[in-house]
Amino acid sequence: MVNVLLKHEVKDYSSWKVGFDSEETRRSAAGITVIGVYTAVDNANMVTVLTQFPSVEAVNAFVGDPSMKEALDKAGVIGKPEVNILNPM
């Protein structure tokens, strides 16, 4: 298992959250567990999501899926997300 810290700015958190929630089935099928969703204290549209993936390969497959860019665009993600893959210690 690896943890993934994903950070990105969105146009509107409430709209983004609807899109994020609609992807739960896809995340579940990929073996992804959402640990938490956070917003920055000084910017409610700066979102950080902490997840757990089964492997680095699963992260790369999920993030590299062409339909993921479409889902991010539809949810109002601004720019390229920052993805950090972390080993639990």
Give CA–CA dist 89/82, Å, rounded: 22
Helix (H, G, I), strand (E, B) or coil at 71: helix
Can you give the CATH number for the domain in which 33 is found? 3.30.70.100
Q: What is the pTM of this model?
A: 0.91
Interval 18-44: pLDDT, tens: 999 999 999 999 999 999 999 999 999
The residue range of the domain holding 16 is 2-86
Interval 35-89: pLDDT, tens: 999 999 999 999 999 999 999 999 999 988 888 888 889 999 998 899 999 998 8
Name the one residue in this structure whose structure tokens are 């339909």: 67
Number of domains in the chain: 1
